[in-house]
Structure 1
């Protein structure tokens, strides 16, 4: 069977714009679109995860998911998912990344911005698949920050899983049941739409969702996702700073620093501010 992918064509792009969402059987029109972008390396996915020498012991496809930007008063919350090579996936304490280009990878909050910026292209280069969701302030105001984050995590996992399952059927004609480990940073998992995957031939029992408190310091795949989420959000903050330099966004990244609060008081609230957050709401009322 000939491989349909080679070189730059190895990467299957992922581009989604979600304007409405089915939540427990009820459709909700989102206040603003949630955009998801990424790609999947089809040949590497097949070689490392979907080709088995012993079909009775399938290797799970491990997907790590993390977020960045829950605390700021400004801008989106970004959620990312990452699939690392099989040999690189596991507990950080077991050092699966030793002597790899990602050897310094850990929780993005423990790394300097310089190291995060260095790791960002490396994660994108070596990840077998990744996706980033941009959940805008209007959606955060619509459903609250916790639910917006859970929604981003749900969409990242569902879209990446759906892409893998569809690609497997389309390009490999694989009939083997794949197993997935979806590892979420935090103390809860989002509500995955298992019915959708049942229709795609994937049983709920094949999707093992796990919540890991401080998971970005425990699992390499979650740590990789934390880099993608954090740096992608920082990029949006720098772009916003270029549009509104008087707010000093490049320095505070939207967090409620004294300088940010003074800028809001003197300059007013931007359309990208989260109006449901108390300091912004009070500024609008004053």
Structure 2
């Protein structure tokens, strides 16, 4: 799955984005279909499809904010304290902030390997400046959710249609709010609003395995981009501070200037631009 978004409808207003939003991911159609078929129609109503969603990079002064959505096998998707991952390859999975970079790097390909589906969105600095960081993050969460749902309903063959009406979906967002989904567009592909239960989970990445899986995808994908920028701009030591406003980062801005990837709407960057 590879999607580029250049314009978007936000609350009835059609907006051309200041830079394209790139989404990448994978949906394992056969595995998801097999799991859904493993439940009776009666069970399906009590075994919702759970999608965890999280972000990484709201605080930095530089680079994108990354958002990810992940679907784990239903037996692996649940409260972390209940240890549904105990005997799985994802046994060490928890909130990405509680894990070392080495452990996150180990988990990143494993989440991609064992997730039934996932999407990662890269929301560039220009879009953050255009919308503000909160709205850019909410847009990323919305797009990850919608694109994963649309992929499920479009790719799971006509046989899956008989299961859809019996498949409630829970979207579990890390944080204290949910994005506003584009339900009219979802309805066009057969996804009814009544089947979708959006939930905000405060500190959800430390509470639910599916949100924790999304947090790994978001965090590590963003770190990969930071290392690319580190190679492109070695004087800024981006690989060390990942764009956060450390003393070394602020001094590099003074010494070498503001980069195209800096978030100009953030207060420290506004001051740096005024002082040029």
Question: In which range does the TM-score fall when normalised by the shorter chain?
Answer: over 0.9
Q: How many residues align?
A: 272
Q: Hey, what does 2:245 align to over in structure 1? A: 256
State the shift of 1:167 in Å: 1.4
Task: Choose from 131, 134, 151 the match for 2:139.
Answer: 151
| Mapped contact 1:49–1:86 kept (Cα < 8 A) | no
Number of the residue aligned with 1:66? 54
> Which residue does the alignment assign to 2:254?
265
Q: 1:167 aligns with which of 137, 144, 155?
A: 155
Q: 1:79 aligns with which of 42, 67, 80?
A: 67
Query: 2:60 touches 2:244 (CA, 8 Å); kept in 1?
Result: yes
Report how far residue 173 of structure 1 moved: 4.8
> Cα gap change, 1:50/1:73 in structure 2, threshold over 3 Å: closer, same or farther?
farther
1:34 corresponds, among 10, 14, 21, to: 21
Go from structure 1 to structure 2 and tell me whether the alpha carbon gap of 1:241 and 1:190 turns closer, same or farther (over 3 Å shift): same
Distance across 1 between alignment mates of 2:254 and 2:42? 63
Show structure 2 runs of 5+ residues with no match: none
- Tell me whether 1:108 sits opposite 2:91 in the alignment: no
Instruction: Indicate if the aligned counterparts of 2:33 and 2:160 stay in contact, CA closer than 8 A.
Output: no
Q: Quick one: distance in 1 between partners of 2:145 and 2:36?
A: 17
Is the 1:49–1:60 Cα contact (8 Å) retained in structure 2?
Answer: no
Q: How many angstroms apart in 1 are the aligned matches of 2:92 and 2:84?
A: 11
Q: In the aligned structure 2, how far is the partner of 1:171 from the partner of 1:36?
A: 26
Cα distance change of structure 1 residues 29 and 282 upon mapping to structure 2, 3 Å threshold: same
TM-score normalized by the length of structure 2? 0.96
**Alignment equivalent of 1:52, drawn from 26, 39, 48:** 39
Unaligned runs of 5+ in 1: 1-13
Give the drift of 1:171: 5.2
Q: How much has 1:201 moved relative to structure 2?
A: 2.0
Cα distance between partner residues in 2 of 1:238 and 1:203: 41
Q: Aligned partners of 2:70 and 2:34: how far apart in 1?
A: 17
CA distance in 1, matches of 2:131, 2:272: 21
TM-score (norm. length: structure 1): 0.93
SS at 1:175 equivalent: helix
Contact 2:53 2:214 in 1 (8 A): yes
Give the RMSD, CA atoms, in angstroms: 1.1
Pair 1:209-2:198 in alignment? yes
Tell me the equivalent position of 2:7. 20
| Superposition deviation, residue 202 in structure 1 | 2.1
TM-fit CA distance, 1:143: 0.5
Instruction: Show the counterpart of 1:6.
Output: none
